[in-house]
Structure 1
Amino acid sequence: MATSPRHQPSPQQPAQHPAGQSQPGSQPPGTAPGVQVPEGYVLAPAPRKKRFVRRHPVLTLVGLVVAVVVVVQLAGGSGEVAPASPGPSSGASDAGEPGTDAAPAEDAPAGVGTPVADGAFEFVVTGVEPGVARVGDEMFGADAQGQFVLVRVTVTNVGDSAQVFDASAQSLVDGQGRTHSADSGAAIYLPDANSFLTSVNPGNTVDGIVVFDIPADATPASVDLHDSLFSGGVTVALG
């Protein structure tokens, strides 16, 4: 006797749950292990990381580099590079070759017999007599503290008004660089001195003697001549 096949039970189908809801007893993705999510609770999808966020620092750095390049180009103007200045020629200035810029030498002072001018006066030193112990005669005269130096000078007024030639405006420098003033008191014992407040009219010339009392071991080096106490003066070498 044929038997009817037994009814085979269909496999049990899993319960359907709405999309986005977690199944009972299941562990939703993105939750920590052991954390139970109530049935029917909808989990928001995990935010997707954007690649732009990761690339943002690199793009920022690139932008800064581009900005710096633009600023440098704008500041550079035409962009032409100035030619480098030529370096010093090797040993040219040390060797004193022609064409090098040498420091100009100072003008040497005029000497005896050379005309020089200061203000309204033109001077010519005509002679120097050092080592004089006394000026004047036996009755009326003056003895030197060290030695008298007699500087003979011709004075011409080249101005347009009278000018006084005065020994007190003149000075002498010795070989050690010391400056000595004139001795007007001793000059009065020389009748032809013409160096004490002597007025010289325009165009006139007088021959005078300026007396200096300097140490016995000193050597006269130069004399500074002035047309007045307040003029610049001019130097004449005596050596």
Structure 2
Amino acid sequence: MEEPSDGESGRGARVAVFIGAAIVLVSLCCCAGAVAAVVTWGDDAYRRLTHDRGDTVDVGQAGRDGAFEFTVSRIDCGVDQIGDSFVNQTAVGQFCLAELTIRNVGKRPATFADALQQAYGPEGDRYAPDSAAGILANSEQQLFQNQINPGNLITGVVVYDIPRDSHIAEMELHESEHTAGLRVTT
């Protein structure tokens, strides 16, 4: 058997290095593109993906996400303060109170978390719930982090502190952070 000359083995090594460098370069470009996409479109891309998969209902209609069937009965904005004369909280802007019913239509217990329930203004601004104000608004029932057994139903209020010149145009309700979400339009 004849051994390759030094020129042939050197050429093979150069080709291997070239192919390896090309693979590394393509991988870096893909990673940079993914990072740029997340930075540029992050929430909007996620929101579009979940909206394409989730159901959409109007206020007053029932809709499902995961094991939960949600019904938002009404949304009241313009509230300045929540609580009583002893314990209360004043809004930075205005409080919007979303009154809802949650029924577990699944086969296992599931936990309702107010932090997963997002609201959106008319321009697409996303608002997170104000859990402290929510506790004051739900003095008769603990809505937050409440485990709901199959077949059971709870009612309560999710509170958002939003700018005075805005209102809630849409809500996105989730049973868990891994579900598509239910859109509720006002």
- TM bucket (normalised to shorter chain) is 0.5 to 0.7
Q: What is the total number of aligned residue pairs between the two structures?
A: 133
Cα separation, 1, equivalents of 2:147 and 2:157: 15
Contact 2:172 2:181 in 1 (8 A): yes
- Which of 77, 80, 95 aligns to 1:148? It is 95
Q: Distance in 1 between matches of 2:170 and 2:140?
A: 22
Alignment correspondent of 1:184: 131
The TM-score, its normalising length taken from structure 2, stands at 0.68
Structure 1 unaligned segments of length 5 or more: list them: 1-105
Residue segments in structure 2 that go unaligned for 5+ positions in a row: 1-51
Match of 1:111 in 2: 58
Deviation at 1:108, TM superposition (A): 9.0
| Kept in 1: contact 2:111–2:145 (CA 8 A) | yes
Contact 1:187-1:210 within 8 A present in 2 as well = yes
Structure exhibiting the larger radius of gyration computed from Cα positions:
1
Query: Percent identical across equivalent pairs?
Result: 35
Are the aligned partners of 1:122 and 1:157 in contact in 2 as well (CA < 8 Å)? yes
> How many Å separate the matches in 2 of 1:237 and 1:193?
26
- 1:135 pairs, out of 82, 94, 98, with 82
More strand by proportion, 1 or 2?
2
What is the CA distance between 1:210 and its match in structure 2? 0.4
Higher RCO (C-alpha 8 Å, min separation 6)? 2
Q: What is the identity, as a one-letter code, of the residue corresponding to 1:127? A: R
RMSD of aligned residue pairs (Cα, Å) = 1.7
Name whichever structure is richer in helix by fraction: 2
Q: Does 1:212 align with 2:160?
A: yes
- Normalised by the size of structure 1, how large is the TM-score? 0.53
Q: Secondary structure at the match of 1:203?
A: coil
Q: 1:131 to 1:220 in 2, by over 3 A?
A: same
Distance 1:108 1:195, change over 3 A: closer
Does structure 1 retain, via aligned residues, the 8 Å contact 2:99–2:157? yes
Q: Structure 2 matches for 1:5-20, cutoff 5 A? A: none
Question: Could you tell me how far apart the structure 1 residues matched to 2:173 and 2:94 are?
Answer: 20
Contact conserved, 1:194 with 1:207, CA < 8 A, in 2?
A: no
Q: Give the whole-Å Cα distance in 1 for the aligned partners of 2:55 and 2:142.
A: 29
